[in-house]
Amino acid sequence: MQLVFATNNENKVKEMRSLLGNHFEIITLQEAGIDIDIPEPHDTLEENAREKSSVIYKMTGQDCFSEDTGLEVMALGGAPGVLSARYAGEQKSAADNIVKVLQELKDKTDRSARFRTVISLIIDGKELQFEGVCPGRILEQPQGSEGFGYDPIFVPDGADRSFAEMGLAEKNTYSHRARAFEGLITYLKEQGEQH
Ligand code: IMP
């Protein structure tokens, strides 16, 4: 089964592919010959994920999925949340975003946070959503060089190292994206068994 993954983020594609069995093949936007920056105009992860999958479904007519992820820091009232990619500005710099989060948490004792991923799947023209949450905490300083985005400052519950200090396989045992993807895979397998 082929699914177009509506993202231009190579790190996300790498993570998703590492979770797949033989039954599913992920086609990237580049492989589908699509070169657009998909808009994320809404106030919720759910709406942004739906926007991305709908745009790609309209362009390709193929089954597809998208995902939107946010880092939600409790002491910041859930920020950066849906603004995670451009928290420190439209340049969408991971380094700048990390500096801003650490600065805002400087005097806070509660460093709890969570990543939340929403996947929007469009299959046979119908939309379904799957959520994955990874609770954890924000470090005082960045640690590690693997991964991307906020990985160097996030330690998932149950671990003693940041996501950026883990290989992909270990990150996937905790990650929000892996958890949301599990829901997607379970659904697709059930569909496959019914046909
Ligand atoms: P988006 O889902 O591409 O809009 O991502 C929102 C922001 O969260 C971006 O700044 C990403 O770099 C960041 N982000 C998404 N997933 C992860 C992750 O697994 N680890 C760290 N940062 C992430």
Residue to substitute in 82, 148, 173 for testing ligand 1 pocket (most ligand atoms within 8 angstroms of CB) = 148
Give pLDDT tens digits for 150-174.
Answer: 999 999 999 999 999 999 899 999 9
Pair type for strands 112-123 and 64-73: antiparallel
Q: Where are the beta strands (DSSP E) in the chain?
A: 2-5, 25-28, 64-73, 80-81, 112-123, 126-138, 154-156
Please state the pTM of the whole predicted model.
0.93
| Distance (Å, whole) CA 169 – CA 157 | 16
Ligand 1: does its nearest atom lie under 6 Å from the Cβ of 94? yes
Of all atoms in ligand 1, which is nearest to the CA of residue 69?
2
Mean pLDDT to the nearest integer, 129-145: 98
| Distance (Å, whole) CA 184 – CA 44 | 20
Is 68 catalytic? The answer is yes
Question: Residue 4 — very low, low, confident or very high, per pLDDT cuts 50/70/90?
Answer: very high
Residue to substitute in 44, 47, 71 for testing ligand 1 pocket (most ligand atoms within 8 angstroms of CB) = 71
SS3 content of the chain, % helix, strand, coil (to 5): 40, 25, 35
Q: What is the DSSP string of 58-84?
A: HHH-S-EEEEEEEEEEGGGTT-EETTG
Mean pLDDT to the nearest integer, 15-38: 84
